[in-house]
Structure formats: C-alpha cells, structure tokens
Amino acid sequence: MTIIVEETQFENGSQEQILKSRAETELVLDGGFCIPHTNSYGHNFRDYDVESERKQGVENFYRVNHINQTVDFVKKMRGEYEKLNKIEMSIWDCCELLNEVIDESDPDLDEPQIEHLLQTAEAIRKDYPDQDWLHLTALIHDLGKVLLHPSFGELPQWAVVGDTFPVGCAFDQSIVHSKYFVQNPDYNNPAYNGKYGIYSENCGLDNVMMSWGHDDYMYLVAKENGTTLPSAGLFIIRYHSFYALHRSEAYKHLMSEEDVENLKWLQIFNKYDLYSKSKVRVDVEKVKPYYESLIDKYFPAKLRW
C-alpha cells in the first residue's frame, strides 16, 4: 500500500525536521483516502493522555477492564457465548442493532457504531475495489458489540470493547494503561505471568486466549456459522483490537507462520479502522444493496448468535 505525504519546505531545515514534518502531515492512501490530522475532538488519534472530555472515563474503563480480564473470566465467557443460543438473525439486522451503541473505550469518536462500520468499509472499498471479502470484513468487524444489548446479556462495557490482549501470560507494558494490571489476580500467578505463561513459542494465536470482548465473540459467530471469508478476514475480526501486537509488535513470539501472513492484512485494515472515523455520514440506503450482496456471498441468511 502506497502512502503519499505532502512535501514541506524548510529554508534551513534539516533532513530530520523534514521527516518529522512528513509524519505530521496529512497522509493519503491509495485511492484517495485521507488520514486526518486529528480525531473528532481535535486531538491525535488514540491519545490516552491528552486532556479531553472523555479522558477520565476512558482511563477508568481500562482500570476496570485490566483488573477483571483474567483466565478464569475468559473461560467463563467463552463457555457461555460459544453456545450461540441467544438469538437468530441476519448480519444486516445485527448492524442495525448497533445504532444506539457508543463505545466508552474510544477516545476518538462518539458516533453510533453503524456509522463507523460503514465509514471503514467504504474507505477500504475505494482503495481495494477487488477485495470484496475485505469490504465485508470491515462492515462486520465490530458486530460483536451487540453483547452490550439486553438480548445478549447486556454485558458491561469493559467486557465488550477496548483494546484486547492475551491472558495466561505476562501483560505487556505496551498495552494502554498497563499500570492497572498490578491489580489483576493473574498478575502475580507464576503459571500466568511469564513471557510464555501457559503457551509455547510460535504456538499460533488460534491457541491463545484473548481478553473477552466483541472481537472474540464475532470471531466465534462467523466461524461457527460457516462463513466462507478467508482466514485473513477471521484474523482481522478476532485481532483488530489487539494493538499491542499490530502497533507495538508485542507477543510476536506466539505467532505461527500463518499469523505472520494474516497480520499484513490486519495492518492494512487497521489504518482504515482507526483513521476513517469522522462526522461525515454514509448514505446507508445507497450502499446497503452492495453489502447485502456480500453478506449473501459469504454468510448464511440467518446466523446463530
């Protein structure tokens, strides 16, 4: 993927200054998708330290999340939700359920989630017109947030959204607000606090328990309902919130060769997932027929959730 940056001229500027300026200048991805300088609040994306109207709430979210996401909790949630016995509905019906959902962990946007799904999908569609599986993956990647809905048990936000990370091994310092892990019961457990913990080198991320949330849930829904999305699509769905991996390169010692290949697609996807967030609305009725055709191609008409 090509990234183009505007040239900035300095009368007496050093190469270092020029490179720094390039990093701060608006980026343009293939096809014309622009990466904005700032989020909806005028701050840098994923800046968890800047003073803003959401800073305190976001930090408290991660404090509760990091204390409670343990091996035992993840096993309990997976055991409950892998039954897929909550409801039967179509992909598009699930999209519409997200209209009232606001992600409390997101410092960049407070728009309904359906807007984010379509913004991401449409941005990717422009730049990767021949990868229809990627368009659909973008549309559905956050559908697991229906766990916040009463029909799905109305789980608390800390058990549904936010950055994800492995449990059963050491918590990496690159995880946002990692200081709160010291209060997690697994933090001092010798079975869980080593580099590999209960895992082995290159065991493959499929064999790793991730903190419970919408990513893992939607991965289970897609897989168990027999989707024909490629493995890269399932990888994106399950690990798109795993920023410690795809932004900080933590936990790479647990990856298989297939994970390494799929990570390339996730890193492409992540730029759109993060930077397409804006106040610009998508015409839902205009794009709906296209995405319904993709749903028919890759999923059954009704899914078990």
Binding-site positions for Fe cation read: 116, 141-142, 214, 240, 273
Which parts are annotated binding residues? 46, 103-105, 116, 141-142, 145, 162-163, 214, 240-241, 273
What are the C-alpha distances in Å from 280 to residues 47, 155, 167, 293?
A: 21, 29, 37, 24
> Of 277, 235, 219, 282, which Cα lies nearest the Cα of 36?
277
Reduced to 3 states, what is the DSSP secondary structure of residue 29? Answer: strand
Reduced to 3 states, what is the DSSP secondary structure of residue 304? Answer: strand
Residue matched to tokens 């998508």: 282
Q: At what angle do helices 132-140 and 231-239 cross, to 10 degrees?
A: 30
Phi, psi for residue 150 in degrees, rounded to 5: -55, -35
Which parts are annotated binding residues for substrate? 46, 103-105, 145, 162-163, 240-241
What are the C-alpha distances in Å from 160 to residues 48, 144, 173, 217?
A: 19, 8, 21, 9
Residue matched to tokens 């990091």: 66
